[in-house]
Structure 1
Amino acid sequence: MNRQAIVLLLTLITAFGAAHGHADANSMPSSAKKRSYYEERGDIVWEVPTDNKVIALTFDDGPHKEHTAQILNLLQQYDARATFFVVGSRVEKFPELVARALDEGHEIGNHSYSHPPFYNIGADALRKELTKTQDAIYQAAGIRSVLFRPPGGRYNDAIVSASKETGMLTVLWSWHQDTLDWRKPGVNAIVRTVLKNARNGDIVLMHDFVPGSDQTVEALKTILPELKERGFSFVTVSELLSYHEKSHKHIEVND
């Protein structure tokens, strides 16, 4: 991602937050804050409402020497872009895969350095996890991510704040698009989850690092051509955010 693209994305992220309003981060205890609180503020993204037939495939926990490469091959075959939320310690092992993904038009997101239980670690340790991964991504591909996905999808004020302080937007996934592929549920189960629930603006959760399982790779061999046949375009999360911004501008113009 070049400097101009990064500036554009940061502008979109700022606009996304502004469009959802602002509130006092200390106005209520974290335990009482539900999805709607963070979503309305634009602090966390689960999906992007849009009339456009676009969908964002995301892959967590990699890179994996074999599976990430196989997924990249499939994405290339179907002219699909995706977002890879990478673990910093694994980026250091396979930097060439991160560089390849970026070169082929995909997006790299931050998924912590060691994949710890984020909800319970201290603020300093949390920030260290993010910055070490940012540094690993930079060493591998020459960019720093603007997107962060907390391990396990856990979130609170401290996690959101650390993400912002590191220059990133927190991104989760559409609740109806959690494939649970890390549990190795079977290829057909992964396929059914994605195809049965596919909606415009979805963010789909999958993993390119699942030890001892190639189910995600095999499922993509059905998911990609079927969604393409239905008219979906496969975009990165940042590209998906731009569809939200287009919709927001359209509403403003017609008000």
Structure 2
Amino acid sequence: MTRKHILILTVCALIISVFYAGFSIAADKGRRYYEGTGQMLWDINTKEKIIAITFDDGPHPRYTGQILDLLAKYKAKATFFVIGENAEKHPDLVLREYNEGHELANHTFTHPYKTTPKQFEKELKETNEIIYGITGFSPVLFRPVGGQYDEKMIDIATKNGYKVVIWSWHQDTEDWKGIWSQKIINKVLKGSKPGDVILFHDGGGNRTQTLKALEKIIPELQKQGYKFVTISELIDSVNGKVSN
């Protein structure tokens, strides 16, 4: 083998090693990577029978109040990922969520699926200001629209003091599709396990089926010994801080 051939093979080997190193770093920046940094949460690993139910896209003038009535009936807590412009229109519902012990979280101001970094940061800040103006509370949790995120988004959210929350992948109720309540009930009850984060919606469309499903899901899971907690309580449970 000539010196030229050796040089070519060496260069090729270097290029391949750099490529795979870069691929490995990129691949790591998924759930495993971000849970390791503490920047994101999908669910938690626990034997304690606690579950966090979450609601996106509200508040809604028709459905949010009914959901709050249902939560109060069963003394269950939830986390509401609020859209800023909806909160601005319905401050009474946001205040009620807060006063009744539920957790308020940021879900952008206009619910955009695509945005520039500058626009995204503006969406976060506007929603925070609205929630703070209504309640005096500044959210520390953020959920990206559709669960879609990238490295820049996570960095901006973290810089602004947020932990990014997705949901347990097996607990997307898909209630936003308007599916029948029994399908939602079957999916949630079949898949529920300690530490889950369940995705519901209280805004963005007709949530009649969501309400019907919750009326069955909450008491059934309580009957099985589950307690419904906020996301922050779920996180605190790792350190044994969840109140009885």
TM-score bin (small chain):
0.7 to 0.9
Q: Does 1:125 find its partner at 2:106?
A: no
Give the one of 88, 91, 102 matched to 1:92: 88
Q: Does 1:152 find its partner at 2:152?
A: no
Structure 2 CA distance for aligned equivalents of residues 221 and 66 of structure 1? 17
- Aligned residue runs from structure 1 range 178-197, under 5 A: 178-197=172-191
- Aligned residue runs from structure 1 range 72-83, under 5 A: 72-83=68-79
TM-score for both structures, normalised by structure 1? 0.82
Q: Secondary structure at the match of 2:240?
A: helix
**Count of residues in Structure 1 that have an aligned counterpart in Structure 2:** 220
Q: Secondary structure at the match of 2:137?
A: coil
Contact 1:201 1:240 in 2 (8 A): yes
Structure 2 CA distance for aligned equivalents of residues 32 and 40 of structure 1? 10
C-alpha displacement at 1:212, in angstroms?
2.9
Partner of 1:112: 108
C-alpha displacement at 1:165, in angstroms?
1.7
Q: Does 1:68 find its partner at 2:68?
A: no
Deviations 1:61-95 (A, max 9, x none): 00001110000000000010000000000000001
Deviations 1:223-251 (A, max 9, x none): 0110110000000000000112339xxxx
Contact 1:30 1:156 in 2 (8 A): no
- Runs of 4 or more off by more than 4 Å in structure 1? 26-32
Structure 2 CA distance for aligned equivalents of residues 109 and 205 of structure 1? 14
Partner of 2:157: 163
RMSD: 1.7
C-alpha displacement at 1:60, in angstroms?
0.2
Structure 1 CA distance for aligned equivalents of residues 175 and 141 of structure 2? 22
In structure 1, give the amino acid aligned to 2:40.
Answer: I
Extract unaligned runs of 5+ from structure 2: 1-21
Structure 2 CA distance for aligned equivalents of residues 206 and 37 of structure 1? 26
Structure 1 CA distance for aligned equivalents of residues 109 and 71 of structure 2? 25
Percent identity over paired residues? 44
Q: Secondary structure at the match of 2:153?
A: helix
Identify if the C-alpha distance between structure 1 residues 133 and 27 changes in structure 2 by more than 3 Å, giving closer, same or farther. Answer: farther
C-alpha displacement at 1:185, in angstroms?
1.3
TM-score for both structures, normalised by structure 2? 0.86
Q: Secondary structure at the match of 2:104?
A: strand
C-alpha displacement at 1:29, in angstroms?
6.5
Structure 2 CA distance for aligned equivalents of residues 78 and 154 of structure 1? 32
Partner of 1:204: 198
Name the larger-Rg structure: 2
C-alpha displacement at 1:213, in angstroms?
3.6
Structure 2 CA distance for aligned equivalents of residues 163 and 104 of structure 1? 27
